Amino acid sequence: LHRNPGESEFHQAVFEVLESLGPVVAKRPDYVDAQILNRIVEPERQIIFRVPWVDDQGTVQINRGFRVQFNSALGPYKGGLRFHPSVYLGIVKFLGFEQIFKNSLTGLPIGGGKGGSDFDPKGKSDGEIMRFCQSFMTELSRHIGQYTDVPAGDIGVGGRELGYMFGQWKRLTNNYESGVLTGKGLTWGGSQVRKEATGYGTVYFLDEVLKERGESFEGKRVVVSGSGNVAIYAIEKVHQLGGTVIAASDSSGFIVDEAGIDLELLKDIKEVRRARISEYVERRPGSTFSSNGHTIWSVPCDIAVPCATQNELDEDDAATLIANGCTLVGEGANMPTTQGAARLFSEAGVTFAPGKAVNAGGVATSALEMQQNASRDSWTFEHTDERLGEIMRGVHDLCYETAEEYGRPGDYVAGANIAGFNRVADAMLALGVI
């Protein structure tokens, strides 16, 4: 704590992982001798930089940029960039730390990192977004590369922002090195299914959890928070598998549509027009919008899938979900559930599947994009989706079996933390004290 003052989200993420590792430490004195735990919580490198840009009024604006290169034992640093006014070092470090174990769980050769800026893309013109992205990449370009560090999108960073950043990279380096960023557009080095991957992968994972219980999505009432990249494609896949998503949200409030969210309408509002979710009710009779009082978790459901942001589901929300009969919570977002809420779920026998396993499909498909870039190939949607499905089944089974092996059957948190950690720890041991 004293080495990282004020970084509350980072502390939370570290405690959550360390809490699971008691049985590992007991079994592996060689990890203790090599100080693996002390090494793994310290980023290999962190970069903080000035991002100056000029707004549409001609005024100079200054933001702060971050890239935390956390662990490269398994491969080049890999993890997204987040543009949101709440971004500071503690958030980037929590995300980078989680990313190490998530990437390890995929079984693919990628290390962990994360970055971003306190820049707020909301309400900015296209020109402002472009100038900001160009300035951000001007500094970031010194630190990344296909064998070094490969950023991608996250909150506030989608295809448009990645396009402007890749354009600036190419201009600065005179190098069409597609593998330096993932989440690219399909006409300039991107992969099929990357846009859908985190949401689809989340639902593939939860489908495996349901299968373990002899159930499926068929006929289930599902609440998905957020209405960004992860939420939209989670909703799409739930509907394809026979469930009904009845509520979604953004930072201004939530909508309820008992008939099932009209996804084409939601995509039009959020992806095309970049507008507020409250517009949904104006165009969809029978739906409602709430912006104060209760949270989206007050809507009764069988399955809850938080897909917005960290700590969006607290103990009060957990108590309400439990009282309303929810039996499965799967984190599409990174650390959306507070530790207190996760504890309540565990005590009440609600299956709780943590983000580092559930949402690993996004980064896994990014690694597939890197494979395609390296071989100058481009796979079909069906082939890529099949690979994503296989990877998510693999992540699920690894978590499930590891939990059993360590005497914690059905505990996906323990399974994910232990399995993710062991692979990185073994690589760190093999590479020596570096």
Could you tell me the smallest distance in angstroms from the CB atom of residue 83 to ligand NDP?
8
Q: Which stretch binds ligand NDP (CB under 6 A): 165-173, 228-236, 394-402, 411-419?
A: 228-236
35 vs 252, which CB is nearer to ligand NDP? 252
Instruction: Check binding of 354 to ligand NDP (CB under 6 A).
Output: no
Among residues 253, 249, 233, the alpha carbon closest in space to that of 241 is found at 233
Q: Are strands 45-54 and 60-71 parallel, antiparallel or unpaired?
A: antiparallel
Q: Give DSSP secondary structure letters for 267-290.
A: HIIIIIS---TTHHHHHSTT-EEE
Among residues 350, 344, 351, the alpha carbon closest in space to that of 318 is found at 344
Residue nearest ligand NDP, CB atom distance: 228
Coil, helix or strand at residue 260: coil
Q: Give DSSP secondary structure letters for 105-166.
A: HTTSS-EEEEEEES---TT--HHHHHHHHHHHHHHHTTT-BTTTEEEE-BTTB-HHHHHHHH
User: Of residues 33-92, which lie at the interface with ligand NDP (CB under 6 A)?
Assistant: none
**What phi, psi does 146 have (nearest 5°)?**
-60, -25
Could you tell me the smallest distance in angstroms from the CB atom of residue 281 to ligand NDP?
16
Instruction: Check binding of 230 to ligand NDP (CB under 6 A).
Output: yes
Among residues 429, 405, 434, the alpha carbon closest in space to that of 419 is found at 405
51 vs 230, which CB is nearer to ligand NDP? 230
Compute how many residues bind ligand NDP; rule: CB under 6 A: 23
Residue 78 annotated as binding site: yes
Q: How far apart are CA 30 and CA 227, in angstroms?
A: 45
Instruction: Check binding of 251 to ligand NDP (CB under 6 A).
Output: yes
Residues 171-197 as b/e (b if ≥16 CB within 10 A, e otherwise) read eeeeeebbbbbbbbeeeebbbbbbbbb
Contact pick of 115, 243, 362, 415 for ligand NDP (by CB under 6 A): 362
Selecting among 93, 114, 195, 356, the annotated active-site residue is: 114
Beta-carbon count within 10 A of 85 CB: 13
Q: How far apart are CA 87 and CA 68, in angstroms?
A: 13
Q: Which stretch binds ligand NDP (CB under 6 A): 35-43, 227-235, 291-299, 315-323?
A: 227-235
DSSP state of 180: G
39 vs 267, which CB is nearer to ligand NDP? 267
Residue 366 annotated as binding site: yes
Could you tell me the smallest distance in angstroms from the CB atom of residue 333 to ligand NDP?
3
Q: How far apart are CA 61 and CA 66, in angstroms?
A: 17
| 326: amino acid identity, one letter | C
Contact pick of 106, 287, 359, 402 for ligand NDP (by CB under 6 A): 359
Could you tell me the smallest distance in angstroms from the CB atom of residue 274 to ligand NDP?
8
36 vs 76, which CB is nearer to ligand NDP? 76
User: Of residues 122-161, which lie at the interface with ligand NDP (CB under 6 A)?
Assistant: 153-156
Q: How far apart are CA 14 and CA 247, in angstroms?
A: 31
Is 93 a known active-site residue? no
Residue 308 contacts residue 225 (beta carbons within 8 Å): yes
159 vs 300, which CB is nearer to ligand NDP? 159
Residue 61 annotated as binding site: no
Residue 198 annotated as binding site: yes
Contact pick of 73, 210, 299, 308 for ligand NDP (by CB under 6 A): 308
Could you tell me the smallest distance in angstroms from the CB atom of residue 246 to ligand NDP?
17
Residue 329 contacts residue 352 (beta carbons within 8 Å): yes
User: Of residues 319-338, which lie at the interface with ligand NDP (CB under 6 A)?
Assistant: 332-334
Contact pick of 20, 198, 244, 290 for ligand NDP (by CB under 6 A): 198
Residues at the binding site are 78, 99, 102, 153, 198, 229, 366
Annotated binding site for NAD(+): 198, 229
Q: Just list the catalytic residues.
A: 114
* Binding residues vs ligand NDP (CB under 6 A): 153-156, 198, 226-231, 250-252, 307-309, 312, 332-334, 359, 362
